[in-house]
Amino acid sequence: MNALPPLPYESPATAQDLEAMRGQLGRDMRGVVSIARRCACGAPAVVRTAPRLEDGTPFPTSLYLTLPSMVAAASRLEARGDLAAWTVRLAEDEELAAAYAAAHRLYIARRDEIGRAEEVAEVSAGGMPTRVKCLHAIIGQSLAEGQGANPVGDAVLAELAETASIDVCRCETGAAAGEEA
């Protein structure tokens, strides 16, 4: 397999980032490799995690949404039933299904860059490649990879653009809380 280009927004995770994510999620993050994408104020938005955690647990979700405003927005869409609607669309739209399957393969290839856990070697995240089970992971991939990596994530981000975006800081403690950066 050809080497993938680097993640366009990836940066090292600092002690400050780990503390920020503890505040964002209410717990310590495990298996942190890097920050795959940041909010406009610089806060972690998507964390990249190892496929095997420190205690040996396999962890397939290697791109993990942490930014509270984005997590809440994804949760609202899930609560209104968008997961089922997207899964139906995948079953009915061959072009969408093919692009989503490509996103699944990219997710696995990207995770394989940092390690491999055989137990989850063919498992990506978010229900890929045939269903939509977790918008948090799917949005995380779109934000980390950039436009065009995941058609479902791209469409959801476009839908959320007015109310939730990493391009406008909505962090409670961010340098530009609530203001455009």
Tokens representing 143 are: 């934000």
Tens digits of per-residue pLDDT, 80-103?
999 999 999 999 999 999 999 999
CB 150 within 8 A of CB 141: yes
Q: Taken in order 147, 68, 111, 49, is the CA torsion positive or negative? A: positive
Judged against a pLDDT cut of 70, whether residue 18 lies above it is answered with: yes
CB 136 within 8 A of CB 164: no
CB 51 within 8 A of CB 114: yes
Tokens representing 165 are: 């975006």
- For the chain, give the percent of residues with pLDDT over 70: 94
Give the start-to-end residue ranges of the domains of the chain. 15-160
pTM assigned to the model: 0.92
Tens digits of per-residue pLDDT, 39-80?
999 999 999 999 999 999 999 999 999 999 999 999 999 999
Tokens representing 53 are: 């955690």
